[in-house]
């Protein structure tokens, strides 16, 4: 229907301005054009957005012919109306309910007040459950991460399941593909899915080589099918590896030499990944298998048993793996971030490459800083895009006024996505603090409550501060009009960053 309207709008403008038809024919097409715009505006009004957002889109529709309507379509309208990914969302919900019914409730008596407050909320809004028999290991930067990944891949005996946003056919990508091919030839089941936009530099030759070795390879949301169903704007940003149900990997690092710091344009690359063991691996595996069912049509959810988790002294704290995106409740990751920050009593530390927070998170940070809670936000000095860099900086003023500390990471490009609250509650995963991660991308994060790994995150954060420069309010307010202009311009695009 929406694309039919778009074609009619284009035809109407053509008839009105580029043909010699009679006045009455042109008037008829003008009325049709006006009717479609009015219907669209009425549909906008029924969505009950904020008054500012509704009026903005109406202005765009009225004053930017055809292109305004195209922008409207690709801003996520079908997703907002529940059409996009409807079947995946409904199927995933049913499967998560089945998985959760089969799991026993963990003992959470060891949690502190702020942790318990978060755990209760997460239990209500997230599909997955909290696991108390899990082990987390923090992996710092590419060298440590990919060395561990290749080590664990080499140990695989039954299966390797892998899902990436960016997977390149460069030196690192080929090293990992060689291991996958070797394992597949040895009889290990290898399933591999990649985002078709993020992994555009994964060559067809490498895909065919993997398939020839027996690896099942599927792209997520192929671009050639995405234009007319509006799905090309919704990307799978998840990075998941599950090996034999015993070990899982998730975090900020994709597969490419830039993540090893070998790209001269980026230089040193600061990132954080995680290795999971125990119950949480089964939850992460469920996220993968639901995505695999979507791309391949194969339902493998009942084919893999949860790992046996006997009592161990090394299980520490509680862990919850949470998937978010168009296949879950809208805005769930944003709500979890907000709840973390609202529960803070002492400190909120954030490290993110893209800081484009929505209003609720900005409010939580302003209130926390105004109450005397230590709020630290770390972003890279140089970003990988003009809009993301200056949109990020446009949010500094309101937070600096409330007493928040903002740090600019100088050593290279910082890509990690970390939140640490009170030193005992933390999030690590794929979701940035921006609108795209909150509303458009498929993401997955790991929330840690009382885990000893949080101590590692704290230590790494403090080390990163030594490679950062604090942005002082007086210096920031003295920035020139040209910088303020770029920030204000970039901020207009916050809704799609």
Shared domain for 410 and 469, answered yes or no, is yes
d(CA 436, CA 431): 9
Q: Using the 3D structure, point to which of 316, 343, 360 is the last residue of a domain.
A: 316
Is residue 231 predicted with pLDDT exceeding 80? no
Q: What is the CATH number of the domain that holds 294?
A: 3.30.870.10
Give the structural domain span for 45. 2-73
* Tokens found for residue 248: 């899982």
Is residue 339 predicted with pLDDT exceeding 60? yes
Residue 234 within any structural domain of the chain: yes
Distances (CA, A) of 196 to 4, 179, 203, 223, 379: 27, 22, 11, 6, 28
Residue 181 within any structural domain of the chain: yes
- Average pLDDT for the chain: 90
Catalytic residue among 140, 239, 285, 486: 239
Shared domain for 221 and 92, answered yes or no, is yes
Residue 307 within any structural domain of the chain: yes
d(CA 417, CA 429): 6
Q: Using the 3D structure, point to which of 254, 282, 316 is the last residue of a domain.
A: 316
d(CA 70, CA 268): 39
Nearest to 239 by CA among 304, 167, 156: 167
Respond yes or no: is residue 237 known to be catalytic: yes
Catalytic residue among 195, 327, 335, 422: 422
Catalytic residue among 161, 417, 439, 486: 417
Q: Which residues of 177-188 are buried (b: 16+ CB within 10 A; e: fewer)?
A: bebbbebbeeeb
* Tokens found for residue 188: 């290990």
Distances (CA, A) of 112 to 163, 275, 332, 362, 422: 34, 25, 23, 25, 11
pLDDT in tens, 269-315: 999 999 999 999 999 999 999 999 999 999 998 888 776 666 555 67
Pairing of strands 443-449, 405-409: unpaired
Nearest to 215 by CA among 230, 194, 235: 194
pTM: 0.88
For residue 191, the 8-state DSSP code is E
CB 16 within 8 A of CB 27: no
d(CA 171, CA 193): 19
d(CA 12, CA 355): 41
Residue labelled with tokens 């059409």: 83
Residue 324 within any structural domain of the chain: no
pLDDT value for 83: 61
Residue 464 within any structural domain of the chain: yes
pLDDT in tens, 342-379: 999 999 999 999 999 999 999 999 999 999 999 999 99
pLDDT value for 313: 55
pLDDT band at 207 (very low <50, low <70, confident <90, very high): very high
CB 256 within 8 A of CB 241: no
Shared domain for 263 and 301, answered yes or no, is yes
* Tokens found for residue 322: 């949470």
Beta bridge partners of 276: 136, 248
Catalytic residue among 183, 237, 273, 285: 237
Catalytic residue among 133, 415, 439, 486: 415
Respond yes or no: is residue 422 known to be catalytic: yes
* Tokens found for residue 335: 């709500």
pLDDT value for 68: 84
pLDDT band at 108 (very low <50, low <70, confident <90, very high): confident
CB-based contacts of 159: which residues, under 8 Å, 6+ apart?
A: 188, 189, 190, 191, 242, 243, 244, 245, 304
Respond yes or no: is residue 239 known to be catalytic: yes
pLDDT band at 427 (very low <50, low <70, confident <90, very high): very high
Catalytic residue among 92, 195, 244, 291: 244
Total domains present in the chain: 3
Shared domain for 460 and 483, answered yes or no, is yes
CB 188 within 8 A of CB 290: no
Shared domain for 296 and 350, answered yes or no, is no
Q: Using the 3D structure, point to which of 316, 351, 383 is the last residue of a domain.
A: 316
Give 407-466 as a DSSP string. Answer: EEE-SSEE---EEEETTTEEEEES--BSHIIIIISBEEEEEEES-THHHHHHHHHHHHHH
pLDDT in tens, 45-91: 887 777 777 887 888 888 888 888 887 776 655 445 556 777 888 88
């Amino acid at each position: 229907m929406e694309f039919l309207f778009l074609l009619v709008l284009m035809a109407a403008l053509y008839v009105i301005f580029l043909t010699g038809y009679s006045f009455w024919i042109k008037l008829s097409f003008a009325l049709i054009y006006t009717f479609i715009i009015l219907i669209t505006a009425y549909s906008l009004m029924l969505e009950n957005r904020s008054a500012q957002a509704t009026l903005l889109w109406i202005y765009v529709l009225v004053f930017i012919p055809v292109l305004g309507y195209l922008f409207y379509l690709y801003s996520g309208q079908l997703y907002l109306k529940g059409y996009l990914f409807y079947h995946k969302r409904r199927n995933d919900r049913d499967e998560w309910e089945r998985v959760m019914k089969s799991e026993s409730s963990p003992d959470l008596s060891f949690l502190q007040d702020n942790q318990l407050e978060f755990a209760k909320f997460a239990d209500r809004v997230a599909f997955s459950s909290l696991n108390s028999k899990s082990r987390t290991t923090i992996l710092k930067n590419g060298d440590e991460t990919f060395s561990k990944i290749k080590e664990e891949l080499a140990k695989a005996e039954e299966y390797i399941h892998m899902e990436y946003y960016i997977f390149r056919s460069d030196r690192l990508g080929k090293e990992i593909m060689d291991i996958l091919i070797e394992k597949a030839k040895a009889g290990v089941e290898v399933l591999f899915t990649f985002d078709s936009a993020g992994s555009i530099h994964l060559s067809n030759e490498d895909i065919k080589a993997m398939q020839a070795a027996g690896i099942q390879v599927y792209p997520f949301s192929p671009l050639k099918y995405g234009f007319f169903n509006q799905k090309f704007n919704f990307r799978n940003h998840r990075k998941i590896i599950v090996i034999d149900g015993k070990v899982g990997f998730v975090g900020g690092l994709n597969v490419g030499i830039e993540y090893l710091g070998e790209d001269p344009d980026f230089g040193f690359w600061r990132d954080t990944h995680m290795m999971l063991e125990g119950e949480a691996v089964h939850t992460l595996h469920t996220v993968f298998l639901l995505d695999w069912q979507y791309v391949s049509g194969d339902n493998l959810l009942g084919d893999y048993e949860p790992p046996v988790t006997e009592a161990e002294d090394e299980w520490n704290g509680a862990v919850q793996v949470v998937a978010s995106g168009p296949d879950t409740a809208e805005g769930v990751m944003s709500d979890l971030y907000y709840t973390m920050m609202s529960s803070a009593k002492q400190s909120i530390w954030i490290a993110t490459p893209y800081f484009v927070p929505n209003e609720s998170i900005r409010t939580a940070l302003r209130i926390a800083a105004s109450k005397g809670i230590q709020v630290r936000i770390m972003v890279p000095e140089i970003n990988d895009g003009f809009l993301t860099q200056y949109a990020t900086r446009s949010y500094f003023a309101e937070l600096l006024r409330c007493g928040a500390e903002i740090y600019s990471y100088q050593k290279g490009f910082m890509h990690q996505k970390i939140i640490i609250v009170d030193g005992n509650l933390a999030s690590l995963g794929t979701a940035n603090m921006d609108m795209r991660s909150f509303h458009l991308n498929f993401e997955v994060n790991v929330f840690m409550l009382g885990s000893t790994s949080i101590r590692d995150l704290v230590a790494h954060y403090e080390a990163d501060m030594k490679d950062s420069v604090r942005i002082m309010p007086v210096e920031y307010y003295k920035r020139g009009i040209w910088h303020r202009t770029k920030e204000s311009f970039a901020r207009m695009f916050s809704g799609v960053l």
